[in-house]
């Protein structure tokens, strides 16, 4: 969402009125807690009538594509029905799972899609120690999720092709138009090199990848965990389906690997357990395995470049936008220096 003033900026009093009008639930500002979001606005709400929910107000750009949001909402329900810990949408007073609301949050009257989602307990995986066991379960969950999503049927599945979507790993070359945000930064040469290797090594092999529907953002802030009975943690929630796209199983694995690296004191050690967990459900082909290293680097490049550009548009959200970027620069540089062969050896022994 690389558009100025697209991200909503509503206050708690406006949220209180919205929840009352759309869902007949009573919440005062003290019952509302803002939650972080990259492009949208999320609020925890605890109405007087009981229960806990998440109010999600989409940015103006995504709100122009209700078919996409319909598919994302259905995907959440489909995963939930198949035993995976995903949120579901609550019908509003009109019986609809989402509504397009024309409101003013300081940028003039604009239209925003609004949904009320079930609340999932737990904390983000970024807040707990990433043990080998939890990393294994993370890889396993990513594979199970894509395996289930691939069975999903919906009249609007075609919207997931998203040929110009910046966050799709199929579209890495779109970053070239934004590399000026790295002018004067040595990181620019690393990103250029990764894109070059992607073009020459990954793109020619893509036709051999197994296709699927990707969640597309299985990251350290979109995975919730709770304590288990063995003194560790179990995955209790999968959040944020805004980046869903038609992709490949290997893409989901690369994305999960990249974000788990951000939270580990020794990032390179993440690879082995996550890969083992993923392959317990979906063993990689030789071609997919050959491309994994560059796809992980590609996701680092997407995160770093898009974050830099987004901060220029939304400086007020800089702290959240740069979460991945701050840690990611060093990890990307280290992985690039180590090289494909050395990284793959470490993945196999961890």
Distances (CA, A) of 94 to 84, 124, 154, 333: 28, 33, 22, 52
Rounded CA-CA distance 61/97 in Å is 19
Token digits for 339?
């090289």
Residues with Cβ within 8 Å of 323's Cβ and at least 6 positions away in sequence, in order, are 221
Rounded CA-CA distance 162/246 in Å is 7
Token digits for 12?
């708690």
Q: Which of 40, 62, 146, 217 is catalytic?
A: 217
Burial class (CB in 10 A: 0-12, 13-18, 19+), 208: middle
Helix, strand, or coil here: 117?
strand
Residues with Cβ within 8 Å of 286's Cβ and at least 6 positions away in sequence, in order, are none
Residues with Cβ within 8 Å of 199's Cβ and at least 6 positions away in sequence, in order, are 173
Q: For residue 214, which phi and psi values (nearest 5 degrees)?
A: -95, 140
User: Chain centroid to CA 331: how far?
Assistant: 19
As beta bridge partners, residue 233 has 227
| Token pair 């003194």: residue | 231
Q: For residue 54, which phi and psi values (nearest 5 degrees)?
A: -120, 120
Q: Are 253 and 169 in contact (CB under 8 A)?
A: no
Q: Are 2 and 166 in contact (CB under 8 A)?
A: yes
Token digits for 11?
């206050």
Rounded CA-CA distance 349/287 in Å is 20
Give catalytic status of residue 229 as yes or no.
Answer: no
Rounded CA-CA distance 16/145 in Å is 34
Show which residues are catalytic. Answer: 217
């Amino acid at each position: 969402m690389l558009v100025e003033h697209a991200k909503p900026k509503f206050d708690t009093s406006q949220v209180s009125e919205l929840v009352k009008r759309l869902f007949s639930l009573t919440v005062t500002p003290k019952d509302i807690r803002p939650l972080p979001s990259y492009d949208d606005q999320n609020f925890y709400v605890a109405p007087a009538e009981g229960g806990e929910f998440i109010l999600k107000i989409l940015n103006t750009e995504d709100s122009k594509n209700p078919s996409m949001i319909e598919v994302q909402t259905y995907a959440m329900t489909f995963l939930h029905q198949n035993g995976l810990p995903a949120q579901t949408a609550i019908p509003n007073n009109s019986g609809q799972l989402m509504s397009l609301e024309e409101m003013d949050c300081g940028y003039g009257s604009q239209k925003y899609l609004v949904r009320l989602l079930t609340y999932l307990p737990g904390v983000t995986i970024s807040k707990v120690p990433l043990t080998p066991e939890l990393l294994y379960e993370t890889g396993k969950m990513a594979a199970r999720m894509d395996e289930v999503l691939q069975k999903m049927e919906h009249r609007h599945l075609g919207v997931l092709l998203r040929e110009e979507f910046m966050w799709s790993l199929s579209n890495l070359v779109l970053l070239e138009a934004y590399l000026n945000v790295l002018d004067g930064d040595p990181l620019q040469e690393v990103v250029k090199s990764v894109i070059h290797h992607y073009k020459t090594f990954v793109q020619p092999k893509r036709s051999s990848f197994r296709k699927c529907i990707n969640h597309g953002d299985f990251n350290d802030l979109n995975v919730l965990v709770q304590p288990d009975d063995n003194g560790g943690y179990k995955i209790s929630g999968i959040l944020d389906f805004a980046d869903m796209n038609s992709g490949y199983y290997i893409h989901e694995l690369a994305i999960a690997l990249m974000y788990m690296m951000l939270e580990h004191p020794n990032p390179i050690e993440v690879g082995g357990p996550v890969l083992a967990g993923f392959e317990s459900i979906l063993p990689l082909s030789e071609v997919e395995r050959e491309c994994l290293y560059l796809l992980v680097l590609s996701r680092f490049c997407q995160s770093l470049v898009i974050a830099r550009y987004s901060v220029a548009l939304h400086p007020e959200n800089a702290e959240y936008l740069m979460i991945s970027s701050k840690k990611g620069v060093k990890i990307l540089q280290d992985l690039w220096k180590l090289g494909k062969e050395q990284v793959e050896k470490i993945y196999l022994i961890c």
